[in-house]
Amino acid sequence: MGREPVEPMGHPRRPGMVEVLVIVRPPAREVATPPDRGAEYRYLVEETQRAKDRLIDWLKSASVWDEVEEVGEPNAFNIIPFVCSRHVASLLKKAPGVEGVAPGDARIDLIE
């Protein structure tokens, strides 16, 4: 049985759109003793959601929001998926609180 590449799920993209992963600055640690794992997870997701909201506001104020097709859900890893124009992807690299932007449309193979 051969391995087939996994196609990205979702609807067809507008021409010129790219998928990127925006890595945001992790939240500062102010607590000496970490809370339980569930509380830590919720805290990290909430912080990433706040970073996502700030990025959306920043893109709207830069008048490029119409070049964004999709913004993914926040997670506990400080990564926010975006589908946007190459222009917006390059702007995101310079956005406040962003540590990096990586390609997010790489194909993967299933391991048998």
pLDDT at 109 over 50: no
pLDDT digits (tens, 9 = 90+) for 67-108: 999 999 989 899 999 999 999 999 999 999 999 999 886 544
CA-based nearest residue to 24, from 53, 2, 1: 53
pLDDT digits (tens, 9 = 90+) for 11-62: 667 888 999 999 999 887 665 456 688 888 888 899 999 999 999 999 999 9
**pLDDT number for residue 83:** 93
pLDDT digits (tens, 9 = 90+) for 4-13: 544 454 566 7
- All structural domains of the chain, each given as residue ranges with its CATH number in brackets, are 15-25+36-106 (3.30.2130.10)
Contacts of 85 by beta carbon, 8 Å cutoff, 6+ apart: 16, 17, 18, 64, 67, 68
